[in-house]
Amino acid sequence: MFLWVQLSPVFAFLAAVSTSYDPASTIPNTGIVCRFTKEAGLVFNQETSDVIQATFRHASFPDIEGETSILLLGSVSYSFKNLQINNMSVERSDVDLSNEKGILIAIQDVAAAFEGTMEYAYSNWLLHLNHSLEFEIHSQTDVNLAVMLAYDNGRFAVTIPDCQLNFDKLTLKIQRDKEANWIQKLFTDFVSFTLRHIVKGQICAEIHKMANLLADFTLDQAGLFVQDGEIATSVKLTSDPVLTSGYIESRHEGSVSYKNSTVFQKPSAIPVERREIRMFNLWVSEPVINSLLFAAHHDNRLTLILSDGHLLKLFEDGGSKIESNLLQQMVPGIPMHNLMITLGSLRPPSALFKPVGTILQASVSLQVDVLSSSEDSYTALYLEMDSETIVHTSYADSKIHLRPSSHHWSIKVVRSNPAIALDESKVKHYLEAFFAAGGLEKIISYIEFYITALLHKKGLRYFNITNSVMETYEGYVTIGTDFGFPRQLLENFLRNLAPIIRT
């Protein structure tokens, strides 16, 4: 269940390409809000048994020494050493949400076999004996937990105010298959009672430790997901998580840093009143996305260079005669394989979230270079233009899809080689022909490919994303999706569990 934290910022990059603002009705100091519904908790519950089994197996039991008085034996001193779990299984588990009690987890029929060494000594007027033997405990118990989540200096603090182990069976077997003598049988009831309390205390303590380790692990993984190179997005909490009978919600800073310097962000516009539309729901504010675009611009990530086959694809696909010859008309007499186009941002672009879609405003440069094997390569054409595009974003078939619904542009600067002598009117004519032939959609396809590759590299492939929806409002975007359990993430945690515990 604690793996829900992992998903918190997973779709922030999706929004990067996808009611009026009233400060009193928005969430302060928060750029990202995520909400998991009860249905999402049921998905995570499918793997709860693996976490519980790992908890039992990694539980450490201290050596225990004591002394008691047993009928007929008199004073008996004892010690339990090397207690560990040999084998276990979990029948099933259930998860529920409660406004008052938190996340309620009920695990039924946890069967565990313990083994260890018992030493005891007793003496009276007749006997004086020291004895050491191996023992096994076969237990069957139900585990009931109430888990609470709180804010602790930007991270999750997990507390377990209620941890109950109800033993349906706890059987002590001394000396494995050997028949216990009458003295050991007298000792059995006392040992069973003592170990029942030892096991309960240690398992509850280990569950608490495991819950916090898992919360830290998943939040760290989330931080790695929204960091690429020298660009990072903070997933620090800004308040206590909100827990109701229908969902769990966490609120995150969403501040962006580039080269360890924080990018300035305007106040968030995420409203207090929101509704969930899928199992997982994410609200990302406009300032978060614009900070990412600012960092991406300064990190030279908003530059597209096309040559050879990519140029042929851009200008010759589709069978349009105008499109096929467009670049050669602009730069006559130069073979396509000797041309290179560089498209880049002149300043950080901005994204405006509106009910009509994401309005992307940008100032871009386009440069056409003529390449030569000698040193006389030169720039044939350079132009600058402003553009405003309304884009609708979706995610389906494991890919980002960007659909432009309108596009307005204006030329600001035109410089060309004297041999070409292109003026603004001619360039405008060529650009109109390029866009009319689907040129914008082809350029956007490269952006789709880049963002999809980035998301998969960062781990989105671990999730079976279905029924995703992206809706833009005034100042923020809402992302909702159903998903399958990220089994790979749990396996990563369990594989690294022993080194984590040692440290």
pLDDT band for position 126 (cuts 50, 70, 90): low
- Whether 270 is covered by a domain: the verdict is no
| pLDDT above 90 (res 35) | yes
Task: Out of 32-36, 142-146, 164-168, pick the least confident.
Answer: 164-168
Q: Is residue 151 part of a domain?
A: yes
* Domain around 108: 38-223
For residues 35 and 248, give the distance between their C-alpha atoms in angstroms, rounded to a whole number.
6
Whether 172 contacts 188, CB under 8 Å: yes
Q: Tell me the helices (H) and strands (E) count for the chain, helix number first.
A: 11, 21
User: Is residue 190 domain-shared with residue 315, that is, in the same domain?
Assistant: no
Domain assignment of residue 240, yes or no: no
pLDDT per residue as tens digits for the range 43-85: 888 777 788 888 887 777 888 887 777 666 667 788 888 888 8
Last residue of a domain, one of 159, 194, 223: 223
Backbone dihedral region of 154: left (phi > 0), alpha (psi from -120 to 50 degrees) or beta?
Answer: left
Instruction: Establish if 12 belongs to a structural domain.
Output: no
Comparing 136 with 346, the larger pLDDT belongs to: 346
Q: What is the CA radius of gyration of the chain?
A: 32
Tell me, yes or no, whether 183 and 308 share the same domain. no
pLDDT value at position 325? 63
Tens of pLDDT along 155-213?
999 999 999 988 888 777 776 656 556 656 666 666 677 777 888 888 888 889 888 98
**Does the residue 162 lie in any domain?**
yes
On whether the CB atoms of residues 292 and 231 are closer than 8 A, the answer is yes
Q: How many folded domains does the chain comprise?
A: 2
Range with lowest mean pLDDT among 12-16, 95-99, 210-214, 448-452: 12-16
**Of the ranges 109-118, 189-198, 384-393, which is most confident?**
384-393
Of residues 290, 231, 274, the one with CA closest to residue 31: 290
Q: How many residues does the chain have?
A: 503
> Do 333 and 449 belong together in one domain?
yes
Residues 326 and 450 in one domain: yes
> What is the rounded average pLDDT for all residues in the chain?
83
Lowest mean pLDDT among 13-17, 186-190, 287-291: 13-17
Quick one: pLDDT at residue 322?
A: 46
Instruction: Mark which of 435, 457, 479 sits at the end of a domain.
Output: 457
User: Please, are residues 73 and 122 in contact by the beta-carbon 8 Å criterion?
Assistant: yes
405 vs 174, residue with greater confidence: 405
To the nearest 10 degrees (0 to 180), the angle between helices 48-58 and 487-495 is 0
* Same domain for 210 and 314: no
Residue 235 lies in a domain: no
**473 found inside a domain:** no
CATH number for 58: 3.15.10.10
Cα–Cα separations (whole angstroms), residue 182 to 179, 186, 337, 435: 9, 6, 95, 94
Assign 11 a pLDDT band (cuts: 50, 70, 90). very low
16 part of a folded domain: no
Instruction: Collect all residues with Cβ–Cβ distance below 8 Å to 375 and sequence separation of at least 6.
Output: none
pLDDT at 251: 93
pLDDT of residue 2: 33
Give 343's pLDDT tier (boundaries 50, 70, 90).
very high
Predicted confidence (pLDDT) at residue 9 exceeds the cutoff of 60: no
**Backbone dihedral angles phi then psi of residue 203, each to the nearest 5 degrees:** -65, -45
What is residue 83's predicted lDDT score, i.e. its pLDDT?
A: 84
Q: Do residues 414 and 441 make contact, with C-beta atoms less than 8 angstroms apart?
A: no
> Are 311 and 219 within one domain?
no
pLDDT band at 348 (very low <50, low <70, confident <90, very high): very high
| CA–CA gap between residue 293 and residue 20 (Å, rounded) | 24
pLDDT at 21 over 80: no
341's tokens:
């186009």
**Is the pLDDT reported for residue 32 higher than 60?**
yes
Write the single-letter amino acid at 428: K
How many Å apart are CA 43 and CA 3, to the nearest integer?
11
Looking at the fold, whether 308 and 213 belong to one and the same domain comes out as no
Question: In this prediction, what percent of the chain has a pLDDT beyond 70?
Answer: 86
Return the pLDDT at 232: 94
pTM: 0.83
Contact 255, 233 (CB under 8 A): yes
Structure tokens at 326: 């467009």
Rounded-to-integer distance, Cα 146 and Cα 160, Å: 6
The phi and psi torsions of 146 (rounded to 5 degrees) equal -120, 115
Residue 139: name the closest of 176, 107, 166 by CA: 166
pLDDT score of 40 more than 50? yes
Helix (H) or strand (E) holding 383: strand 378-396
% of the chain at pLDDT higher than 90 = 39
Give strand ranges (E) for 124-254. 128-152, 155-174, 227-228, 231-233, 242-243, 247-252
Mean pLDDT within 210-236: 89
Residues 214 and 80 in one domain: yes
What's 127's DSSP letter? -
User: For residue 468, what pLDDT is reported?
Assistant: 93
Q: How confident is the model at residue 131 (pLDDT cuts 50, 70, 90)?
A: confident
Residue 18 has pLDDT above 50, yes or no: no
| Separation CA 268–CA 261 (nearest Å) | 20
**376, two tokens:** 């006389």
State whether 332 and 436 are in the same domain.
yes
**Predicted pLDDT at 405:** 92
Distance between CA atoms of 50 and 494, rounded to whole angstroms?
Answer: 9
- What is the per-residue pLDDT for 19? 34
The answer on 307 and 168 residing in a single domain is no
Q: Looking at residue 333, which CATH number applies to its domain?
A: 3.15.20.10
Give per-residue pLDDT as tens, 406-428: 999 999 999 998 878 788 898 89
End position of a domain, from candidates 193, 223, 253: 223
Residues 324 and 199 in one domain: no
Are 46 and 144 in the same domain?
Answer: yes
